[in-house]
Structure formats: C-alpha cells, structure tokens
C-alpha cells in the first residue's frame, strides 16, 4: 500500500535525540532492516538485529539514543528514546491517511429503531442494525453490518469494524476498538445436569468493556450468568480469544490469541497471558503475573509470578525441566548400556 510521509514530519513525530546524515525527503515505505530499500523507513527495536543496521539500505533508520555508528551516504540515523514506540507513532499518522474516519451520517440501508439514540458525528455504515433503546456516543463509527442490541451502550469515539456484534444490554466504554467478527455478549456456556440431561441455565447478566479497551477479530466475550463480565480500562485482547461468563479482567492486561478463560476467573491489573493459555474456572491471577504460551493454569497465581508449561509451574523450574527433557535420550542410552553390562556380569557369575 502507498505510503508518503515527508521527512520533516517524521522528525516532528519522532522528536529525535539526534539526527545524523542526509536521506530521502519523503518516506515511501516501511520495512525491516534486512528488506528495506532507499525510500524506506526502518528501525532497530530488538538488539538481536543490531548487526543488520550497517548493511541496511533503508533511507531512514530509527535507533536507540545510545546507538554508536554512522549512516551510509544517502541515509539518516534518527536516535530516539524508544524506536519501536516512535515507529508506532509514525504508523498512527499513516493509518489515519490510509483509513480516514468515515464521514458522519447513516447509510440508507441501516436499520435503526426509533427509540435508539445517536450522538453527534456518528457514522453508521451499510446494513447496520441498532435495536430499541440503544445509545451510540458522539463520534462513534459503526462500520458495515455492525449489530447493536437492545439497551446496549456504545461510548464516545468507539470504532467497531465490519460484522461486530454487541448484544442486548452490553456496555462499551469510550474509545474502544473492536475488530471484525467479535461478539460481545454471547450467552455464557452454562448448563445443569438434571435426570441425565443438560439443562440450559439462562444467562441474564451483561458485558462491560471499559474505556480504551481493544478487542481482536473473532474474539467472543460471554455475558454473565448474573451481574457482569468485565474487561478493565486499557486492556488489550487479541484475536480468537474466548472469555467466559462472569470473568473479570483488570486494567491494562494483555491477552494473546487463542487464550481460553473459563467462567468466573479474576485477572488483576497488568496480567499477561501468552498465546493458547488455558485458565480453569474460578481462578484468581495476581497483579502483574505473566503466563507463557500454551500453559494450562489449574490453581490461583500469586502476584508477579511467571509461569510456563501445562500444568503451569514457576518459570525457573520449567526451564530446568526443559533442560532435563533434552538430556533424556542420552540418559536412556546410558541406562540401556548399564543394563547390558549388568546382564553380562550376571551371566559370568558362578552359581553358589
């Protein structure tokens, strides 16, 4: 996709500690250090790739403030406090130009209840449905095929991508972004076994997403059996995540793709769950805990803990066990050799 961002604007956004060299007046692309061409912007966000800086063809490179070295001819080094975050700021401006905010207004194909309330500057795209009593905050954007249920609330400045479902009575805070296919407020998975049959338990609660939450594509967040399922302010949920009924996620948590969180779990603030982590029901994950990819958590987790493996165990112990696992083939060979030696010695022994 076409990128065109003047160098002077990049310098304004980056607020560099230093500018060394002379490069392109306009950036036409963004690429990794190894793949960049003369008109591209690149960055060093991980020390692992430091060796690629001097061989990179990028016209402009964002570097840590303490980076030592000089650019090639026709190249600029911008030393900044945080190259990765600086790149994010630059990409934010590019994003706004590539996907500008749609103009306020309601598409003729949208179906909106007479009792729904739309704030100022709202955009409602093609084939959207807004049910009875729903309230849409100022400057919200509902892209095509978005569904907003009865008495639901969508806050100011939210952006809901195509195909999002916000079910009845759910509450979405301000500046929330929800990607395509996400379902907010699907029924919780609740059943009671009665006389050998699984009988459905009605799910009469709701979902609350607090301000600045982001929800990934095809993620599902179940409404509570009673009360609310909650995602706290600033938390970020990746694609293909399942959050069950009555879960409470704290502020500024990170939940990576394909995580499954069973009912009534509590995640305190700043928890990080790696990809494919599974949490059993009714657990409490302490503030700042980090759980590595594919871990299976069966018990409460202390604040600040770092866990790996399934069932999940402390990080240090998990690393030791990984090393031991790698040594198992050699261990089996040694045991086999010792068994043969014992058999040989046993066969040579004279009977008593």
CATH code where residue 15 lies: 3.40.1390.10
Kindly state whether residues 114 and 174 are assigned to the same domain. yes
pLDDT digits (tens, 9 = 90+) for 258-316: 999 999 999 999 999 999 999 999 999 999 999 999 999 999 999 999 999 888 888 88
Q: What is the mean pLDDT of the chain?
A: 94
Kindly state whether residues 88 and 123 are assigned to the same domain. no
pLDDT digits (tens, 9 = 90+) for 226-245: 999 999 999 999 999 999 99
- Given a cut of 60, is residue 351 above it in pLDDT? no
pLDDT band at 97 (very low <50, low <70, confident <90, very high): confident
**Residues annotated as catalytic (active site), given as ranges:** 245
Kindly state whether residues 81 and 115 are assigned to the same domain. no
Kindly state whether residues 111 and 132 are assigned to the same domain. yes
Kindly state whether residues 113 and 179 are assigned to the same domain. yes
pLDDT band at 136 (very low <50, low <70, confident <90, very high): very high
Kindly state whether residues 137 and 263 are assigned to the same domain. yes
Q: Is residue 14 included in any domain, yes or no?
A: yes
Q: Is residue 210 included in any domain, yes or no?
A: yes
Kindly state whether residues 303 and 212 are assigned to the same domain. yes
Answer with the residue of higher pLDDT: 312 or 211: 211
Structure token pair of residue 17: 């500690």
Which range of residues forms the domain containing residue 57?
5-98
Kindly state whether residues 38 and 77 are assigned to the same domain. yes
Kindly state whether residues 135 and 209 are assigned to the same domain. yes
- Given a cut of 70, is residue 349 above it in pLDDT? no
Q: Give the separation between CA 76 and CA 6, rounded to whole angstroms.
A: 13
- Phi/psi for 328 (5° steps) reads -60, -45
Position 1 scores a pLDDT of 62
Position 106 scores a pLDDT of 98
The number of folded domains in the chain is 2
- Given a cut of 80, is residue 347 above it in pLDDT? no
- Tell me the H-state helices in 190-282: none
Closest by CA to 73, choosing from 24, 2, 30, 33, is 24
Give one DSSP letter per residue of 276-319, joined into a string: T-EE-TT-EE-TT-EE-TT-EE-S-B-TT-EEETTTTEEHHHHH
Kindly state whether residues 147 and 88 are assigned to the same domain. no
Kindly state whether residues 44 and 148 are assigned to the same domain. no
- Mean pLDDT along residues 159-168: 98
CATH code where residue 272 lies: 2.160.10.10
- Quick one: which H or E segment has residue 98? helix 83-98
Distance of CA 86 to the CA centre of its chain: 19
- Phi/psi for 51 (5° steps) reads -65, -15
Position 230 scores a pLDDT of 98
Contact 257/241 with Cβ under 8 angstroms? yes
pLDDT digits (tens, 9 = 90+) for 29-65: 999 999 999 999 999 999 999 999 999 999 999 999 9
Answer with the one of 70, 98, 126 that is the final residue of a domain. Answer: 98
pLDDT digits (tens, 9 = 90+) for 11-29: 999 999 999 999 999 999 9
Kindly state whether residues 183 and 265 are assigned to the same domain. yes
Answer with the one of 98, 118, 135 that is the final residue of a domain. Answer: 98
Contact 18/42 with Cβ under 8 angstroms? no
């Amino acid at each position: 996709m076409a990128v065109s961002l003047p160098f002077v604007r990049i310098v304004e956004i980056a607020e560099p500690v230093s500018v060394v060299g002379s490069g392109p007046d306009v950036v036409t692309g963004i690429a990794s250090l190894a793949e960049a061409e003369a008109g591209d912007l690149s960055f060093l966000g991980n020390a692992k790739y430091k060796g690629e800086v001097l061989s990179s063809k990028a016209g402009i490179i964002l570097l840590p403030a303490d980076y030592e070295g000089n650019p090639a001819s026709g190249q600029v080094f911008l030393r900044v406090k945080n190259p990765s975050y600086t790149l994010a700021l630059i990409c934010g401006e590019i994003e706004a130009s590539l996907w500008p905010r749609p103009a306020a207004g309601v598409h003729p194909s949208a179906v909106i209840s007479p009792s729904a309330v739309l704030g100022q500057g709202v955009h409602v795209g093609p084939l959207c449905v807004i049910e009875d009593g729903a309230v849409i905050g100022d400057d919200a954007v509902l892209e095509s095929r978005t569904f907003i249920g009865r008495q639901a609330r969508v806050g100011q400045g939210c952006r809901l991508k195509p195909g999002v479902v916000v079910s009845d009575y759910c509450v979405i805070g301000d500046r929330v972004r929800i990607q395509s296919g996400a379902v907010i407020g699907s029924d919780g998975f609740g059943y009671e076994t009665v006389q050998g049959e699984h009988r459905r338990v009605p799910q009469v609660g709701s979902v609350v997403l607090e301000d600045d939450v982001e929800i990934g594509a095809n993620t599902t967040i179940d409404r509570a059996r009673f009360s609310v399922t909650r995602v706290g302010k600033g938390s970020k949920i990746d694609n293909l995540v399942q959050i069950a009924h009555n879960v409470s996620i704290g502020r500024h948590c990170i939940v990576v793709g394909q995580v499954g969180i069973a009912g009534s779990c509590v995640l305190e603030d700043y928890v990080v769950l790696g990809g494919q982590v599974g949490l059993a029901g009714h657990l409490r994950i302490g503030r700042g805990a980090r759980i590595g990819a594919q871990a299976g958590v069966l018990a409460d987790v202390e604040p600040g803990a770092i866990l790996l493996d399934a069932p999940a165990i402390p990080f240090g112990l998990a690393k030791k066990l990984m090393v031991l696992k790698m040594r198992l083939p050699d261990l089996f060979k040694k045991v086999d050799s010792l068994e043969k030696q014992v058999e040989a010695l046993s066969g040579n022994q004279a009977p008593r």
